[in-house]
Amino acid sequence: MADARSAPAFRLALPDATQSYEQDVEWCLVDDGSGWRELRFHDYSDIYQVPGLYERLFYEVLQCQSPPVVCDLLAEQLAGENIDPSALRVLDVGAGNGIVAEELRARGITKVVGVDIIGEAKDAALRDRPEVYDDYRVVDLTDLGEGEADEIAGGGFDALACVAALGFGDIPPEAFRAAFDMVRDDGWLAFTLRADFLSDTDKSGFSGLIKSLMASGELEELGAVTYQHRLATTRAPLHYRAVVARKRRSLS
């Protein structure tokens, strides 16, 4: 089967670098043969429908580094504790078109279940990387039906990965908490957040959630690094924090 990513059939343009936008309203222009149209970076459903656009925009042009950074951090922790990655069953939250799952598999993890709220994300994953998921669910983690969490978890995941998907309303704290609850005790968590979302001035709710999980003993941070997530459309660096932690039984 031809690789849809090998020959992108579109033209891409970014706004002038002197124009500054908040991260969740950044935009680009795309012409896939039907004329130029404006897409916000968070218009994922539209972006995923253009084969190769997500990779070209975020990884080639804006130099996104998050998937390898967080997956390397997880792999280092697993190796340090002599954990066989092939024994882990991982929940990939905000899975998109499978880039994170591809990185996880490259590090020896063989069982990955993806969840995303956008149906077009699943379609793109099946189109671009059909081999990386054992299952892929299109669900709203804040509105799960009775028994749906148990059905997805299937006895509990050994690890959770959530890369560059938290904040800005894409995955709210309540959704992350629902995914967290699907991880077994002593399971692993590997996630990224924009650095200021973990500060005392954070308004997204994630700083409060992470701090409360740590205070209750439910989350034990093992390793973290601040790094360049990608470039903004101004070509300035955007810094994120990658965290690897263990889920512990609540002490309260």
pLDDT in tens, 48-101: 999 999 999 999 999 999 999 999 999 999 999 999 999 999 999 999 999 999
pTM across the whole model? 0.91
Report d(CA 143, CA 43) in Å as an integer: 21
User: Is residue 64 within 8 Å of residue 58, measured between CB atoms?
Assistant: yes
- Each as own residue / partner, the long-range contacts of residues 142-149 (CB below 8 Å, 24 or more positions apart, any chain) are 142/172, 142/174, 142/175, 142/178, 144/178, 149/178, 149/181, 149/182
pLDDT tens, position by position, 87-141: 999 999 999 999 999 999 999 999 999 999 999 999 999 999 999 999 999 999 9
User: Is residue 29 within 8 Å of residue 38, measured between CB atoms?
Assistant: yes
